């Protein structure tokens, strides 16, 4: 570690929206302690975790510090954070935020992405972790 810090949050709401332009979304709970941080971030990274990263997912649901969660990561020019070991990573710039009940839907354009690893993906279904 070289003293740099990055913030993260485990989310399951990530989804693709549009191919042209490439848009994705995720929804942010309004009662999250991380609400202000992510509501106002102009860019962010989406990291699709592998099944063997289930502990990282659990930790990032409890706390926001990626170093504390034990992750190795790099920061992109945009400010988005890419996590080592993830199977797909998206460098995203926010284009719209929509109020939706107790969440905000955050829509973003994909500036860049990579798929650095082939491994079973971590999924969360019926309140349990699994793999596909
Ligand atoms: C598998 C999983 C998926 C989650 N998906 C979301 C999500 O899509 N959006 C969200 O706001 N919180 C989601 N959460 C909850 C957050 O990760 C976090 O636990 C919650 O915001 C409470 O912590 P905080 O108040 O420190 O943010 C998810 C948690 C887990 C374990």
Dump pLDDT digits (tens) for 45-95. Answer: 999 999 999 999 999 999 999 999 999 999 999 999 999 999 999 999 999
100 has a pLDDT exceeding 70:
yes
Residue spans per domain, the chain: 15-131
Q: What mean pLDDT comes out for the span 92-100?
A: 98
Query: Of the residues 29, 68, 125, which should be mutated to test ligand 1's pocket, given the most ligand atoms within 8 Å of the CB?
Result: 29
Specify the 3-state DSSP secondary structure of 17.
Answer: strand
* DSSP single-letter state for residue 35: H
Q: Output the pTM of the full model.
A: 0.97
- Ligand 1 centre and the CA of 28: distance in Å? 8
How confident is the prediction for the chain on average, in pLDDT? 97
Residue 52 · residue 85 · CB < 8 Å: yes
Q: Answer yes or no: is pLDDT of 1 > 80.
A: no
Residue 23 vs residues 66, 90, 97, 112, 129: alpha-carbon distances, Å: 25, 11, 13, 11, 26
* CATH 2.40.10.120 correct for 15-131: no
Ligand 1 centre distance from Cα of residue 11 (Å)? 5
| φ, ψ of residue 35 in degrees (nearest 5) | -55, -55
Query: Three-class SS of residue 60?
Result: helix
């Amino acid at each position: 570690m070289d003293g740099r810090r990055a913030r993260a949050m485990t989310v399951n709401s990530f989804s693709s929206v549009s191919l042209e332009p490439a848009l994705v979304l995720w929804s942010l709970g309004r009662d999250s302690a991380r609400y202000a941080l992510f509501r106002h971030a102009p860019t962010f990274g989406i990291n699709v975790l592998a099944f063997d990263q289930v502990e990282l997912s659990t930790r990032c649901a409890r706390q926001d510090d990626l170093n504390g969660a034990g992750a190795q990561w790099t920061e992109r020019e945009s400010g988005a954070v890419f996590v080592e070991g993830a199977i797909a990573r998206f460098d995203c710039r926010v284009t719209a935020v929509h109020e939706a009940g107790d969440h905000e839907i955050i829509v973003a354009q994909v500036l860049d992405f990579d798929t650095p690893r082939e491994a079973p993906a971590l999924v969360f279904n019926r309140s349990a972790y699994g793999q596909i």
